[in-house]
A = this chain, B = another copy of it.
Amino acid sequence: MDHRESDEVVESSVGGVAPRDMENNASSFFDDEEMGIRDPLLRWQTGNTTSQLAVVGANVCPIESLDYEVVENDIYKEDWRSRKKEQIFQYVLLKWTFALLIGLATGLVGFFNNLAVENIAGFKWLLTSNLMLKHRYHEAFAVFAGCNASLAAAASALCAYLAPAAAGSGIPEVKAYLNGIDAHPILAPSTLFVKIFGSICGVSAGFVLGKEGPMVHTGACIASLLGQGGSRKYHLTWTWLRYFKNDRDRRDLITCGAAAGVAAAFRAPLGGVLFAYEEAASWWRSALLWRTFFTTAVVAVVLRTFVYFCRSGNCGLFGKGGLIMFDLSSNISAYGTPDLIAVVLLGVIGGVLGSLYNFLIDKTLRKYSIINERGVPFKILHAVAISLLTSCCSYGLPWLVKCTPCPPDILDQCPTIGRSGNYKNFLCPPNHYNDLASLFLNTNDDAIRNLFSGGTNNEFHISTLIIFFAGVYCLGIVTYGIAIPSGLFIPVILAGASYGRLVGTLLGPISKLDEGLFALLGAASFLGGTMRMTVSVCVILLELTNDLMILPFVMLVLLISKTVADCFNKGVYDQMVKLKGFPFMEAHAEPYMRNLKAGDVVSGPLITLAGVEKVGNIVHALKWTRHNGFPVVNEPPFSDARELCGLALKSHLLVLLKGKGFTKERVSTGAADVLRRFDPFDFAKAGSGKGVKLEELDIDDAEMEMYVDLHPIVNRSPYTVKETMSLAKAAVLFRELGLRHLCVVPKSPGGSPVAGILTRHDFMPEHILGRFPHLKNH
């Protein structure tokens, strides 16, 4: 089998060596060869006994590489020729309309999410605080934990029953999709539904998780739904939408959706654009910059309008807050050497803690897969158990710390009884507050706001910050793997801000910088250490805090933490992509690929079709192989010599066979015949999982002996490389052009006109190193 795009289960196996590019060639002390952090949990196993849900949210399902290559066959030519100028205008208009719609919908969902979460959390708080004021602490805890547990159960039930793909962050899935891995349920409507409501329940249940990752996934799902719009199923096949029946446009839409998701979650339109560019997308065009920018601008306007509407109290318990979430107004007039050392220190700590976090999350997910394999009820129980643990921490730990008297010269209210606020009373005498309760017994957003707050030096005790950091760090790790839509940003920011503030408090005597600023820098360093994003995190933090003066500090801290963390392992999303077994195509070729030739990794027997082929042979080829493309070789009398005619795609073959029109004789019927019987649109790429299937064909034995002319559907000019080209160079071609099949032709004429086909799987390091283990040392 020379090209093995699986239609059943991810087939990625053997070896635990991670891809390294030349710049990140550092060795990893976490990485033991036996077990390999990046060893995918899901492998091709005989009999397929592994549960498809071993990793919650793993998407083991038809995986298909999408391609950017223009299939230049007769159908395409006809299609292109028939396009008129007005249609091009409509096409452009449609693109912008879709961008607008995605922005509107994602903005709406983002606002709805906020509204629901704040109202539920507010209601929960009202119930609990009433009981606490009456000194009925046990009942208060019962109510608190009960609310949380039932919300958790609801979220995990939704997730486990309806759409397991909705569990987890969703960013790895979106990243994989944009890399060309089309696993159907990733962006299905059920996933969208669960992602929205599961995320609301999950966040209101008080878990240490965020809504950011799920929002990105939600945005992508919305975009995908819109992109699938022109479906034959719903008789929506008007001329406009047919131009969207290609991978590039769909992927563009989903990129816009991901950007809109970030914009809605953080209220950071620029951050959204940069996130889409830096983290989500694998192929980027400048036109996309422009379109994502528009989408996120729409999101910003929608959110702004709603926030304005809610200011007058129209939205129940919805909190106050403009487009800027954590308004931090630092005033860095001067800084000295100790401050710079502190910043460097924060960066190093962030790098070490971040890579450890990634390592632990990976370990935990592997352990969790044992629970998840046992079935749906166990998943729900698991979520409830973690919820109870979180409730115990939130409600129990504040009892450990002493009350602190309110600072005398404070502008804010102190202590506060209400739902939010910086100084929580929690069982303290008047004019005293419980600093751990201000962090733990709050929504995550409020806790971050409290940590970031400036001008409140020494508000939190050192011991409080240590307890909170330890709690949040561990809870974040154990929470991520449960069957609930859960983002990583908020836990990471919480943990980072708490150790940042801790460092700030410790350095208080010698540093002129504010503790709130230290908290922000801590958050930045931890984000850099786990996610390894730079520019987008920087912009997101700027947009979150509305403070541009801190930019150089944030940049410095990100640089250091990313560099330190890169010495140990990969970013958390890359790790997750590997863990889920997605055949992710890296941007760079591995150095050892230079020692291989393209001909080395293709291996026979190669299945080729003739220009005019017997129907039976085609059906046989489709039935017994899982190939998605077949080289078509012409022989005399159809050509002068035996030569490569081009490449026929499985999906096109199926459409052609379904349309019948076979001939008894082995003659070329030509393009005109096919174009008479088919509309070019029939051959357009169907939505994921929606194309013609082999089982739908109804071909009798007589037809099996007849012939069909493949020429009209053959891509006449596929990109080719010679078998002597180095694999690295072939990989560059494959990756940069976003190909799905790459024909390898022999060095010398004569013999077979095609030596093999390279697909995405042939470039996977696991595959290559499995076959050439001696390259590992290179």
Contact = CB atoms under 8 A, between A and B. Distances in A.
Interface of A: 21-23, 25, 69-70, 72, 80, 85, 88-89, 91-92, 95, 269-270, 273, 278, 284-287, 289-290, 293-294, 296-297, 300-301, 304, 308, 322-324, 334, 534-535, 538-539, 542-543, 546, 548-549, 551-552, 555-556, 559, 562, 587, 594, 639-641, 643, 716-717, 719-722, 724-726, 728-729, 732-733, 736-737, 747-750
Contacts of A733: 719, 733, 737
Contact of A324 (B323, B549, B556, B559): B549
Given A534-B289, A749-B643, A594 B80 contact: yes
B722 A717 contact: yes
Given A23-B92, A300-B555, A748 B289 contact: no
B92 A22 contact: yes
The 3 closest A-B pairs by CB, nearest first: A717-B725, A749-B749, A297-B555
A441 to B, nearest CB: 31
Given A534-B289, A722-B717, A323 B549 contact: yes
Given A300-B552, A301-B552, 6 more contacts: A21-B287, A22-B88, A286-B587, A323-B549, A546-B549, A717-B729
5 contacts: A290-B562, A543-B548, A546-B549, A641-B748, A643-B748
Contacts of A92: 22-23, 25
A17 B323 CA distance: 45
Contact of A551 (B22, B269, B535): B269
A88 to B, nearest CB: 6
A719 B80 CA distance: 27
A721 B719 contact: yes
A23 B323 CA distance: 32
Contacts of A542: 270, 548
Contact of A559 (B294, B539, B587, B750): B294
A548 B548 contact: yes
B587 A70 contact: no
B293 A750 contact: no
Contact of A737 (B535, B562, B736): B736
A91 B273 CA distance: 32
Nearest to A546: B548
Nearest to A545: B548
Contacts of A539: 270, 539
B534 A290 contact: yes
Nearest to A85: B25
Nearest to A562: B290
Nearest to A559: B294
Given A22-B88, A324-B549, A736-B736, A535 B289 contact: yes
Contact of A555 (B69, B80, B293, B725): B293
A304 B92 CA distance: 45
Given A641-B749, A736-B736, A748-B640, A293 B535 contact: yes
Contacts of A273: 535
A255 B273 CA distance: 21
Contacts of A89: 25
Residue picked from A22, A548, A639, most chain B C-beta under 10 Å: A548
Contacts of A732: 70, 737
A724 B729 contact: no
Nearest to A284: B284
A728 B548 contact: no
Contacts of A717: 721-722, 724-726, 729
Contacts of A296: 555
A464 B710 CA distance: 74
Nearest to A324: B548
Contacts of A749: 641, 643, 749-750
Contacts of A278: 286, 289
Nearest to A283: B736
Contacts of A594: 80
Contacts of A724: 716-717
A725 B644 CA distance: 13
Nearest to A728: B70
Contacts of A728: 70
A219 B719 CA distance: 39
A722 B535 CA distance: 41
Contacts of A297: 552, 555-556, 559
Contacts of A285: 587
Nearest to A717: B725
A742 to B, nearest CB: 12
Contacts of A736: 736-737
A88 B301 CA distance: 48
Contacts of A534: 289-290, 293
Contacts of A747: 643
A285 to B, nearest CB: 7
Contacts of A308: 334
A53 B719 CA distance: 43
Nearest to A724: B717
Given A289-B278, A717-B724, A552 B72 contact: no
Contacts of A750: 640-641, 749
Nearest to A587: B286
Contact of A748 (B284, B538, B639): B639
Contacts of A322: 549
Nearest to A598: B717
Given A278-B289, A721-B719, A724-B716, A269 B70 contact: no
A559 B300 CA distance: 14
A587 B289 CA distance: 14
Given A732-B737, A748-B641, A270 B551 contact: yes
A503 B750 CA distance: 74
Contacts of A293: 534-535, 538, 555, 559
Contacts of A548: 324, 542-543, 546, 548
Nearest to A301: B552
Given A304-B552, A552-B297, A270 B737 contact: no
A640 to B, nearest CB: 6
A548 B324 CA distance: 8
A18 to B, nearest CB: 17
A258 to B, nearest CB: 16
A264 to B, nearest CB: 13
A344 to B, nearest CB: 12
A287 B716 contact: no
Nearest to A749: B749
Contacts of A641: 748-750
A354 B771 CA distance: 59
A308 B552 CA distance: 14
A344 B286 CA distance: 24
A355 to B, nearest CB: 17
Nearest to A750: B641
Contacts of A323: 549, 551-552
Contacts of A549: 322-324, 546
